[in-house]
Chain A
Amino acid sequence: MACRTVCQLLQRRLASSAASVRLSAAEERGRRSAVFSREQARQRSLYPRTEKIEVTLQIPGLQGTLLVMNKGLSTPHSCARHLTEWYVTSSALALVDGKPWSLHQPLTQSCSLSLLAFKDTDPLLVNQAYWRSCAALLGQVLQDAFKEDFSVELLRLPEVLVTSGAFCCDVVLDPQLDAWNPSEESLRSLTRGAQQLIHRDLPWEPLEVAPPVALEVFSHSSDTHLRCVFIHVYGTHTHSCLTSYLSLRCGDHVLLSGGPLVARTGLCSQYEVTAIHRLGEGKWGLHRRAQGLSLPLQQQAHHTVWRKLRSRAEKLVEVPTGSTNEAISDTLTPPSAPEQTPPQQ
């Protein structure tokens, strides 16, 4: 129900923003970052007095250790800082009461915490989060890489398994670039851009935002992005009507994600953009899938092993489209019957 309202709001916003001035990409990013910071500050101000919460650690070797942390301010990262440096550098994800939790997201109540690293016996969650983070990084690199004249629209970051060979990022480039095919040199320059981001070791700051705020962050942009924002991960969740969206900021790029990402970009070490495939004409232009391969800092591969993985990452990764696109088109197009429910504004 709430989703339908939101999507109707979208339609009206689309109509209104069509006539508005289009900002340049850099200004747009700055504006989004400012909205993000404002929301972050507002959420922090919800806890004016420092209240204490009790965090029980579920780490092998430290079972049952009790940490007294600050409510709404302490993150699993700060809990790790109370332990040793190894936990700080090697933790990628946290499990709060069994739920995957970003390492930099504040804890709001007493809970049990366990820190996950890449070398655990069951690294499934961490691996998926890492793959998602690498795809987000790829999206960021692609948005930064092109000149100001060309527009780059991020379609979605499809959820692929680690065993599929490569993480993907669906983009739509400027129509002027329809004939452009990336050469070896351009892939290498994209890799260089990604390596620079990794080198800067930027943290991924998570923030749970309500739908109106999410709309505000991504408004004033072109039609494509507004629609894509909800496709690119929340396509599967449209019917479940989420009350909040997980938004992350890395540097000055803000994006939405379907699950928690790892703590910071510095956790990746070997990172290569392997291919950009053409998917064919879609609703918003020529769809392209950019693929990449990456390994974390603690699990570097020998160059022979890396080459073998890379040759597989160059092949196109098939993503099961499922019901995501159809669900979105249902909710986006206004129903044929006249709206009985008055719009709630």
Chain B
Amino acid sequence: MAAWTCRHLLYRGARVLAGRTGAVAAADSCLFQSVRTVKTTTWWEEHLTEDNKSYMRKSLGEEYNRQIAAKLHPLKDEPWPRQEWTKGLVAVKLGMAPVWTKTGERHVVTMLQVQDCHVLNYLSKEEYDGHTAALMVGGKNASPFYKTDEEMEMFRLAGVPPKQKVTTFKVSDNAIIKPGTPLYAAHFRPGQYVDVTAKTIGKGFQGVMKRYGFKGQPASHGQTKTHRRPGASGPGGDPAKVFKGKKMPGMMGNVFDTAHGLKVWRVNTRYNVIYVHGSVPGHKNCLLKVRDTNLPTYVEKNINPPFPTFFCEEDEQLPEDLYDEDLFIHTQPSLTL
């Protein structure tokens, strides 16, 4: 239930004129100023009837579908020119699977699905940090009932449903994309290299052996109560201190980590899945930031791709699966005569 409360602010008012006269005006000497505020502690469905609740849920779903459908075929009078831009997406980690190359080597890939990814906002160089322009991208629809009005403002301006994860990609100055444009997995093609950033699985407070891979001590042969301890903590008498940054036990995981230079092996356009090489940080169904790689070896290859950036409104019909040239397509016969 809502209630009126009083917020007491420390008010640095005019100096107290107590010296001149005995009585001082209350307003001048008042150090505390009460500002009446309204405290709301309610969940969104508290005051709604049952049929109103179901109506709100249903109408939200319909509104999302309408918004996404409206963005699929943007109007012809798009004033924003389509330029090449450093690609970036928000994806969901599905799981891992094995792949084989044509020479018979086995690798593992992680499948990343792009769900409801839309461009939210474009920030020019001046607005962002003065050096590079930025593009805000959001992925995976979420409920507006658990977002504040200020968060919803950006989504409302772009005309898209509210997103679970909103990330910022640094892009080149001419990479202006209209807010509300949907992004698909086909933005990345097999053969490109990506960096994937996500929050690692939280392990809690962990010891030094799990956290930093210390060797520990032997299990037997006279060790007294010392099997997984860090051992020595530094050089000794000369510095006579423990250096800052000494590896010690502490909270492990639940931090953002990036896996660099992952090759894209395959892209499925029907389900919007990208198959990237190796493992990526994060648990299953977590949201990741997928970006063109920064590694110098692969940056050149990514700048001049052999194909243009993919936009939905082009008439080209992409095949359902795009495979890398080295990848063995498992549905085809292995031996051809």
**Hey, which bits of chain A sit against chain B, CB under 8 A?**
199, 266, 269, 297-305, 308
Contact = CB atoms under 8 A, between A and B. Distances in A.
Interface stretch (B117-125, B144-152, B165-173, B302-310): B144-152
B56 A308 contact: yes
Can you list the 10 inter-chain pairs with the closest CB atoms, starting with the nearest? A302-B44, A299-B47, A303-B149, A304-B144, A300-B2, A297-B2, A300-B40, A302-B145, A298-B1, A304-B145
Nearest to B47: A299
A269 B42 CA distance: 14
B48 interface: yes
B246 interface: no
B59 A303 contact: no
B36 interface: yes
B4 interface: yes
A308 B2 contact: no
Interface of B: 1-2, 4, 36, 38, 40, 42-44, 47-48, 56, 59-60, 144-145, 148-149, 152
Given A298-B2, A300-B2, 8 more contacts: A300-B42, A300-B47, A301-B47, A303-B148, A304-B56, A305-B44, A305-B56, A308-B59
A298 B46 CA distance: 10
Contacts of B152: 303-304
Nearest to A304: B144
B254 to A, nearest CB: 30
14 contacts: A266-B4, A269-B2, A269-B38, A297-B38, A298-B1, A300-B2, A300-B47, A302-B42, A303-B148, A303-B149, A303-B152, A304-B144, A304-B145, A308-B56
Contacts of A308: 56, 59
A304 B42 CA distance: 13
B48 A305 contact: yes
Contacts of B2: 269, 297-298, 300
A262 to B, nearest CB: 16
A256 B76 CA distance: 56
Contacts of B144: 304
Contacts of B4: 266, 297
**Most chain A Cβ neighbours within 10 Å, of B47, B145, B152:** B47
A199 B56 contact: no
A305 B1 CA distance: 17
A90 to B, nearest CB: 9
Nearest to B162: A304
B58 to A, nearest CB: 12
Contacts of A199: 36
Contacts of A298: 1-2, 47
B44 A304 contact: yes
**Most chain B Cβ neighbours within 10 Å, of A299, A300, A304:** A304
Contacts of B47: 298-301
Contacts of B59: 308
Nearest to B42: A300
Contacts of A269: 2, 38
A301 B52 CA distance: 12
A265 B148 CA distance: 27
A238 B148 CA distance: 50
Nearest to B38: A269
Nearest to B41: A300
